[in-house]
């Protein structure tokens, strides 16, 4: 695969969004941080360095071909009002729809990934990076081999973008099928959270696909 330089909007420059923005800018991609507080986004961008600009949500989405959703699940409708239909764009959904009680707002019969695909029917939605712990983005090697980055989508183009970004970061990307399989991937993320933080295992592990 010939990697291409991408224009990527990060909608929701929190810890996950900012970490991915730093990594993706280092590999030559142009990053647009989109926030409800454009001045704050501009400040973050200036601190992070090259290939990066900060602005409002609508401007960031309009400037990019790829849009990362890394905002809290409850903000989906507000974001949709600002960015419109995103026709022809690739949306990378890394959201886990976790409630304040720690359970999934959706799961097994429906998913955040499917809801986003339904909300943006003219975009190409791929579920990716939601199950990967923040600290693993910069260090994806476990026992000498790369961690698995699962992804799912109905779009080959969106899958290709997920593969490119995951590979550049040092992960082993694995296709798990259509976007409806996000209803399995999102509970996997919750299982990791339960094991890491509620069962005392700690954060230094990952779920890896191992072939015989």
Please report where in the chains the tokens 């401007």 appear, as a residue. Answer: 59
Distance CA 144, CA 29 (A): 27
Query: Could you report the per-residue pLDDT of 72-117, keeping only the tens digit for each?
Result: 999 999 999 999 999 999 999 999 998 888 888 987 899 999 999 9
* Stretch among 7-16, 25-34, 103-112, 140-149 having the lowest mean pLDDT: 103-112
Contact (CB, 8 A) for 33 and 52: yes
Q: What is the pLDDT of residue 106?
A: 86
Say how many CA atoms lie within 13 Å of 42 toward its Cβ.
6
Distance CA 57, CA 55 (A): 7
Q: What is the pLDDT of residue 58?
A: 97
Please name each of the domains of the chain with its CATH number: 7-198 (3.40.50.720)
3-state secondary structure 14-46: CHHHHHHHHHHHHCCCEEEEEECCHHHHHHHHH
Distance CA 36, CA 208 (A): 36
1 has pLDDT over 60: no
Cβ neighbours around 8 below 10 Å, total: 27
Instruction: Name the strand (E) or helix (H) holding 53.
Output: strand 52-56
């Amino acid at each position: 695969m010939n990697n291409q330089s991408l224009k990527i909007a990060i909608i929701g420059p929190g810890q996950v969004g900012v970490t991915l923005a730093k990594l993706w800018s280092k590999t030559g991609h142009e990053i647009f941080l989109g926030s409800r507080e454009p001045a704050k986004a501009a400040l973050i961008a200036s601190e992070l360095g090259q290939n990066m600009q900060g602005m409002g949500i609508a401007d960031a989405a309009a400037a990019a071909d790829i849009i990362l959703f890394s905002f809290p699940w409850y903000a989906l409708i507000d974001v949709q009002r600002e960015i419109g239909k995103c026709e022809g764009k690739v949306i990378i959904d890394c959201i886990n729809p976790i409630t304040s009680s720690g359970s999934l707002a959706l799961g097994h019969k429906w998913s955040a990934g499917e809801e986003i695909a339904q909300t943006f029917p003219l975009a190409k939605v791929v579920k990716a990076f939601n199950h990967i712990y923040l600290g693993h983005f910069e260090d994806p090697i476990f026992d000498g081999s790369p961690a698995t980055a699962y992804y799912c989508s109905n779009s080959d183009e969106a899958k290709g973008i997920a593969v490119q970004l995951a590979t550049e970061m040092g992960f082993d990307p694995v296709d798990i099928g259509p976007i409806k399989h996000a209803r399995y991937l999102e509970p996997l993320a919750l299982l990791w959270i339960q094991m890491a933080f509620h069962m005392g295992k700690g954060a230094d592990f990952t779920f890896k696909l191992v072939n015989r």
